[in-house]
Chain A
């Protein structure tokens, strides 16, 4: 058997491979068979954190949003999320940013709750985006941590908001300037805001408390200053 064709082909080639597949891949698949895979539509439904960010995008970049997305509805959000995942994969973001928080190395303190299986049972984790390298931080708790315009500027030119960042710039997600994200730009921001938006404690460590700026303001300005306040808070938190 050990030197024969049938031994090598059937036992080593097929048999051992099948044994490894059954024990290492089929076992977890069977263990989690009762956890249904959620569709993107299901992910968007009742996710007010995500819808808040999506609407915010439509207010912040009204022209761009109307042109590329239309109305900030749940259907559009689901579609944009899928595009966002495609951009995230195609640009190779996942090679420098992981999407799971480990129970070691004080990662809970840095990012938030340790990753759970349920978080990955959905269409947007197909194939799953665990990642194996962190040049930049983990992103699975990134949603809601920073404002949409922070992300826009950061994608356009990372060093504008994070001075020593080695991250490449992605000007092709914009129409010339950081306040004009194109469809892919809006999609990627939505995707990043989705990451972690399913958690109850969202955003994990920053409680959103608008601090009004001095002076009289119209309603529109108020909402704007809230965003700025949020940004300022993010900046101090870092």
Chain B
């Protein structure tokens, strides 16, 4: 551990900054939801290849579980894992604890009510409402809301929004108390707290209660995109700007590029949303605007990736020896692929062919799993041994976890991307619809196996996790991982 700048005051003890139990709890809950989401995905994948053994059971309907799949990965896995990682990184970066521990635990419980409510609402809501006469006449649906990535039933939306506000308050306390220019991570986090709240409010309330038709579609597009771009992306990059320098024990290569990356993303990302609904009745000039901004984002992203790869230059052996670093950089490679793909697919030429197809589904998996889940799993690989003061039980299982996840995901993304091209041409050639479904079958079969590989990777992780935990409970085990000490303003400024 190095200090680039002398600490402005005596470095506080780790135990006074971080409540490790809350980090641990968030991570374990997140992993539970990851498994749930994967099982839901498997159900839908089996349905598509017409081998769903549970077809015809109302509460296991693939239509409902498809929404569970996406919502649980966004709000159950990513949000919980982010909150855990924030509880570790924000106090250690700011050298101040969060506003209040009791608030932290309250948020933890409240957020699980939100996620469970979402899952239960989507799965049970329509059934309850149809069979309980008292619920039938309710003016709103107990089940899913008709907004992609925002299927959170309408009755949970206010609670979720309140939760997001509390999260912002709790983490903004240590950030606002610190003085002077902020480190990159803090920019991303601060912006994310504002954006997530605004995005959630905009997407879940406006199309439901005030706007209709095409303009509601425009807001829906903004919501889909902002959820990834303004909630997941800034938190993810903020964590990367924190963990990569910490683990490589050197500052970011260029502070200037960090600035370009943040401000470019902040300006262009919110303008992208409508590219999800190209060729709809949304005014064409707005569609053009979204396309141009999307391509601008990809250029900005390139600067961020260049900055990170320049940072690891000279230490690239860490990619082999340091597992979390390998997770992070693999995620960044996938991020580069995703963004390159995005710059192409957002053009009207590509859209005509691949919109509505599995290309988009492959793209979504590449982003949500290939980038952000990979980063969070890397962070977990780094933090579990530190929290338990015990090295991983099996390095080999860690490797299996990595390789099965990475290869499985990449196979799935390639497979679905290719499937999308086929589907696009089937449709454009005006062959009967069934031909496109039949033609997709081989790709869908491959997708099942790719998904199973990813699931197997997580099983390796869970076994390893359980054995490591048992090891940590055994008396007399040498504490091979030292007590972590926070770094005072590590990497505030780069060398360039």
**Taking beta carbons and an 8 Å cutoff, which residues of A are in contact with B?**
2-5, 8-9, 12-14, 16-17, 19-21, 23-25, 27-29, 31-32, 35, 37, 86-87, 89-96, 98, 100, 102-107, 109-110, 115-117, 119-123, 125-137, 159, 162, 164-166, 168-172, 182-184, 238
A62 to B85 Cα, complex, angstroms: 60
Q: Is residue B352 contacting chain A, with contact meaning CB distance below 8 A?
A: yes
Write the chain B residue with the least CB distance to A129.
B146
> Once the chains bind, are B64 and A23 in contact (CB under 8 Å)?
no
By a CB distance below 8 angstroms, the chain A residues around B55 are 168-169
Cβ–Cβ < 8 Å partners of B434 in chain A: 162, 164-165
Chain A residues near B63 (CB, 8 Å)?
A: 91-93, 95-96, 168
A98–B125 alpha-carbon span in the complex (Å): 23
A130 partner residues in chain B, CB cutoff 8 A: 217, 220, 277, 280
The 8 listed contacts between A and B (C-beta, < 8 Å) are A24-B273, A28-B214, A91-B61, A104-B348, A130-B220, A164-B438, A168-B63, A169-B55
* Interface: B469 (CB within 8 A): no
Query: Is the beta-carbon distance between B213 and A35 smaller than 8 angstroms?
Result: yes
Interface residue tally on B, bucketed by range: 35 or more
Question: A25 to B214, Cβ gap below 8 A?
Answer: no
Residues of chain B touching chain A, judged by Cβ–Cβ distance below 8 Å, are 47-50, 52, 55-56, 58, 61-64, 66-67, 122, 125-127, 129-130, 141, 143-148, 175-176, 181-182, 186-187, 190-191, 193-195, 198-199, 202, 206-208, 211-222, 224, 230, 259, 262-263, 266-267, 270-271, 273-274, 276-277, 279-283, 286, 289-290, 348, 351-353, 355-357, 360-361, 424, 427-428, 430, 432-434, 437-438, 444
CB pair A128–B214 under 8 Å, yes or no, is yes
Q: Top 3 A-B pairs ranked by shortest CB distance?
A: A13-B194, A20-B270, A90-B143
Q: Do B428 and A28 touch (CB < 8 A)? A: no
Across-interface contacts of B145 in A (CB, < 8 A):
89, 127
In the docked arrangement, what's the CA distance between A132 and B274, Å?
Answer: 12
Q: A14: shortest Cβ distance to chain B, in Å?
A: 6
Residues of A within 8 A of B141 (CB): 86, 89-90
Query: How many angstroms from the CA of A57 to the CA of B391 in the assembled complex?
Result: 67
- A92 contacts which chain B residues (CB < 8 A)? 61, 63-64, 66-67, 144
Residues of A close to B290: CB separation below 8 A = 24
Residue of B nearest to A92 (CB): B63
